[in-house]
Amino acid sequence: MSLVVVALAMVALPAYSTTITTFTDLASWQAAESTVQAIDFNNLVAPSGMSFYAGGLTLNGVQFIGYSGQSSLGVMDTTSWFPTFGMNDAAFMLVSGPSSYIHVVLPAAVTAVGFNLLTSNGGLPYTIKIDDSQLNVLGTYTKATSGAPPVAFFGATSDTPIATIDLSLQGPGSAGTYALLDNVSYGNASQQTTQAEDTPEAASFLLIGSGLVGLGIIRRRSVSLTVG
Count CB atoms within 10 A of the CB of residue 130.
24
pLDDT at 96: 61
**What is this structure's pTM?**
0.75
Q: What is the dihedral of CA 200, 206, 209, 213, to 10 degrees?
A: -170
The dotted CATH code for 18-189 is 2.60.120.260
CA atoms of 32 and 211, how far apart (whole Å): 40
Is the pLDDT reported for residue 224 higher than 50? no
Count CB atoms within 10 A of the CB of residue 101.
21
- Place 191 in a pLDDT band, splitting at 50, 70 and 90: low
Domain ranges of the chain: 18-189, 198-227
The pLDDT of 22-41, averaged and rounded, is: 92
